[in-house]
Amino acid sequence: MSEPDQRIHEDGSPDRLAIDTIRTLAMDAVQKANSGHPGTPMALAPVVHTLWSRFLRYDPAAPDWPNRDRFVLSVGHASMLLYAVLHLAGVREIDADGQPTGKPAVSLDDIQQFRQLSSKTPGHPEYRMTTGVETTTGPLGQGCGNSVGMAIAERALAARYNRDGFDLFDHDVYVLCGDGDMMEGVSGEAASIAGHLKLSNLCWIYDSNHISIEGSTDLAFDEDVGQRFQAYGWNVLHVDDANDTEALAEAIATFRATSDAPTFIVVHSVIGWGSPRAGSEKAHGEALGEDNVRATKQAYGWPEDAQFLVPEGVAERFSAALADRGRPAREAWEALFARYRETYRQEAAEIDELRRGKLHSGWQQALPSFDADPKGLASRDSSGKVINAVSPHLPALLGGAADLSPSTKTDIKGANSFEANEYGGKNLHFGVREHAMGSIANGMALSYLRPYTATFLVFADYMRAPIRLAAIMELPVVFVFTHDSIGVGEDGPTHQPIEHLATLRATPGLDTIRPGDANEVAVAWKVALEHSHEPTALILSRQAIPTLDRSKYASAEGLERGGYVLADAEGRVPEVILIGTGSELPMVVDAHERLTAEGVRSRVVSLPSWYLFEKQDRAYRESVLPPAITARLAVEQAGSFGWDRYVTSDGGTITMSTFGASAPLAKLQEKYGFTVDNIVKMARELMEKAQ
C-alpha cells in the first residue's frame, strides 16, 4: 500500500504525518461503522498529538502508574480521537486484576471494530472496558466534572502522603472539552468550584468550533466563554488556530508554570478540518461518505483508497516520544516510593491498599452499635455518628454536602475543611452544586479516594447523570440522601420525595439502602464501604426513628442480605407478612405486636436493599417471603412503583400515589394512612382476601 505523498503533505514533518494518521483512522473507523463523529477528531488531532507527544507524563507500558498525568476526553462523542492516540502510543492492556496482558490496549483490529458488539472501541469511551480510558464520557460536561474530582484527589493525596524530598503525588489533569460541555450546567458548576479551590493542576482545553448537532452554535450560544472562566478565577489563554502546535505548546507550558489557578485554553478549530464539508453537521455527527473521505485524504496528500493506514514509523515515533519522557519519570517514581517505604511504612502501606482499591484494614471494629431506644434518633443523625466513628480509621474517606452538612449530618468533627491552601481537609464544601458534586465524587473515586456526597433525596434529580455513570463505571461512591419522605412535613411537596426511591432502585448496579433504625444504618455504612464495584445510595430520615431492641428482634446484620425476617410468628406459619423500610419499619413492628396480641400470626420483613436481596439465592428469598403466603403488605412513605415484585398481585401497599402536602408530620401520616391502625386494618383485609 502506498505511503502519503510527502511533497504535498503540507510541511512533510513526522509530527504532521502522525496528526493526519489520527485523522484518517477516525474517518475510516466512522465510515466503516457508518456511525460516529469524525469531525472533532479531525479538527483536534493536532491538539491531542501535541499534548501527548510533548507534555503528558504517561508511560504506555504502565498506564496505571499512580502519578501519571490524567487525560479526560469530555467530548466523548469524539472517541476515535482517543482510540487512535492509544493505538499510536502503544499503550499496553491491563486486565481487571491490574495485571498486564501483553496485548495492546487498542489494536488496529480494535479500531476496525469501532462501535461493534463486544469491541474495546465503543461509541463513547468506557472506563474498565478499554485500558487508557480514565473515565466514561459521553454525557456532555461529565468529564469536566470528573476532572475536578481527579484534581482534588491529587491535592488530597499530596497533602496526606507527600513529605520533604518525597513528592509522590504531583501530577496534572488535562481535559479536552467542547461547546456542548460549556452549554451543560454541570461544567459551570465544576469550573466554579475548581476556581474557588485554585486547582492549578487542572487544565481544560476548550475546542471552540461553533458547531453543534443543530448547526451553528449561534442558534443558542453566543457568550464569551473565556470571560466567564476569568470570572470563575481561571487563567484563560487563547490559541487562534488548532493547527498551530507551537502556540498550543506555549499555552500548555504556561499552564505548567501557573501555581495559583486552573487553566482554560480556548482553541479555535474548524470542525472536520480538511474535509470538503468542513463545518457541516455531517462532519460532526455522521460518517462523511466514501467520496468525501477520498477527497479529504487527497487534501492530506494521503492515498485516497487506503483504509486504516498507519505509515511506517508513525506509531514507533509517537510511542517513543511519550515513553522516553514517561518511562524515566515512572521509574524514578518507583525508586522514590521504594525509599519512601523504608521511612514511612504505614503511609506506604496505605498507598498500597488504595492502589488495590482496598480500605485500611480494621475499620469495621470502629462501627458503633446503638442501644434500644423508643425515642431513637433520625437515621441522618445515626449516619453522622457512623461517619465520625470510622473516619479516623479511613484516610481515603472524605466528602461533604451541597451546602447542607448541618442538615445531612455529614461533617467530620474536628477535621479541617478542604479548601485552597488547606488540601489536607476531609470536609468538602460543594456549595449548592448537586450535579457537579456527583461528577466530582466520581472523579475522586477514579483516583483512589472513597468519597461520599450528601443532599436531600428530592434533589437526587439534580445528580441523576453522575449517579448513573457511577453505576456504569462500578465506582464505590456513597451518595447520602436525607429528608427521605413526607416526613419532611411542613416543607411541603416540593421537598417531599415520592418517585425518587423507585428511580434509584431501577438503576442497574446501584445499591439503594433505606435503613430502618440506627443499627441498620451502621450496617448499611459497612456494606457501602465494603463495596468495591458498586455505588451506594443511603436513604435517611430527618425525623427520629425508634431504635429497635435487637435482643428481642433479629440482628441488624440481616441488612447485609438486603432483606431479612425481623420478627416472626414464633415458630408457626405466618398468616400475614408486613414489609417495611426506613422510618416506617418501627411502625410496622408496632402493628405486628398488636396483631400478635390479637392472635394473628404475623411476620415482619425488613427490606432496606432490594439490590442486595435480589443477589441472594432463591431459597433464601423464599425463606423470607414464602410464595404460599400471599397476604403481604408493604409500608413505605414513597411511591408504590416496584413493590408488586414483593407483595405480588394478591398483596397490598400503604404508599404514596400523589405528591405530599405542607403540614406537620403527624397530620400527613394520618392523611395518607401511615398509622398503626391503618396497617392493622389493611393486614386483616389481606388475610380475609387470602382465605
For 509-551, the three-class secondary structure string (H helix, E strand, C coil) is: CCEEECCCCHHHHHHHHHHHHHCCCCCEEEECCCCEEEECCCC
What is the overall mean pLDDT for the chain?
93
Q: What is the C-alpha separation between 344 and 16, in angstroms, rounded?
A: 47
Q: Which of 70-74, 220-224, 365-369 has the lowest mean pLDDT?
A: 220-224
14-329 has which CATH code?
3.40.50.970
Joined together, the cell numbers standing for residue 621 give: 428469598
> Minimal CA–CA distance to 564: which of 619, 606, 513, 616?
606
Joined together, the cell numbers standing for residue 396 give: 481515603
User: Which residue ranges does the chain devote to CATH 3.40.50.920?
Assistant: 562-690
Residues 123/81, Cβ–Cβ less than 8 Å: no
Annotation says 434 is catalytic:
yes
Residue found under cell 435487637: 550
Checking if the pLDDT of 38 tops 80, the result is: yes
DSSP designation for 380: H
At 129, the amino acid letter reads M
DSSP designation for 163: B
Q: What is the C-alpha separation between 72 and 137, in angstroms, rounded?
A: 8
Mean pLDDT of 38-51: 94
Q: What is the C-alpha separation between 273 and 275, in angstroms, rounded?
A: 6
Strands 211-212 and 373-378: unpaired
pLDDT in tens, 312-354: 999 999 999 999 999 999 999 999 999 999 999 999 999 999 9
Query: DSSP string spanning 558-586?
Result: GGGGS-EEEE--TTSPPSEEEEE-GGGHH
Joined together, the cell numbers standing for residue 264 give: 482554560
Q: How confident is the model at residue 6 (pLDDT cuts 50, 70, 90)?
A: very low
pLDDT in tens, 380-429: 999 999 999 999 999 999 999 999 999 999 999 999 999 998 999 999 99
> Minimal CA–CA distance to 354: which of 494, 160, 177?
160
Joined together, the cell numbers standing for residue 244 give: 498551530
Mean pLDDT of 661-669: 92
Q: What is the C-alpha separation between 262 and 230, in angstroms, rounded?
A: 10
Residues 403/189, Cβ–Cβ less than 8 Å: no
Residue found under cell 460518517: 287
Q: Which fold has domain 562-690?
A: Rossmann fold (3.40.50)
Joined together, the cell numbers standing for residue 186 give: 454541570
pLDDT in tens, 59-75: 999 999 999 999 999 99
Q: What is the C-alpha separation between 493 and 661, in angstroms, rounded?
A: 5
Residues 200/262, Cβ–Cβ less than 8 Å: yes
**371 Cβ neighbours under 8 A, 6+ residues apart:** 547
pLDDT on residue 421: 86
The side-by-side arrangement of strands in the sheet containing 576-580 is: 564-567, 602-606, 576-580, 632-639, 652-656
Q: What is the 3-state secondary structure (H, E, C) of 28-44?
A: HHHHHHCCCCCHHHHHH
Q: How confident is the model at residue 218 (pLDDT cuts 50, 70, 90)?
A: confident
Dihedral sign, Cα of residue 8, residue 14, residue 19, residue 21: positive
Q: Identify the active-site residue in 134, 434, 534, 636.
A: 434
Coarse DSSP helix, strand, coil percentages of the chain, rounded to the nearest 5 percent: 45, 15, 40
pLDDT on residue 518: 98
> Minimal CA–CA distance to 300: which of 638, 669, 619, 3?
3
Query: DSSP string spanning 164-189?
Result: TTB------EEEEEEHHHHHSHHHHH
The per-residue b/e assignment along 62-89, b for 16 or more CB within 10 angstroms, e otherwise, is bbebbbbbbbbbbbbbbbbbbbbbbbbb
CATH 3.40.50.970 given to domain 363-546: yes
Residue 194: CA count within 13 A, CB half-sphere: 35
Q: Tell me which range, 2-11, 221-230, 289-298, 638-647, is most confidently predicted by mean pLDDT.
A: 638-647
pLDDT on residue 124: 96
pLDDT on residue 215: 65
pLDDT on residue 70: 98
The CA distances from residue 330 to 69, 323, 353, 682, in Å, are 11, 10, 19, 67
Q: What is the C-alpha separation between 469 and 438, in angstroms, rounded?
A: 9
pLDDT on residue 423: 97
Checking if the pLDDT of 279 tops 60, the result is: no
pLDDT in tens, 485-511: 998 888 899 999 999 999 999 999 999
Dihedral sign, Cα of residue 240, residue 246, residue 251, residue 252: positive
User: Which residue ranges does the chain devote to CATH 3.40.50.970?
Assistant: 14-329, 363-546
Checking if the pLDDT of 12 tops 80, the result is: no
pLDDT in tens, 428-479: 999 999 999 999 999 999 999 999 999 999 999 999 999 999 999 999 999 9
Helix (H, G, I), strand (E, B) or coil at 216: strand
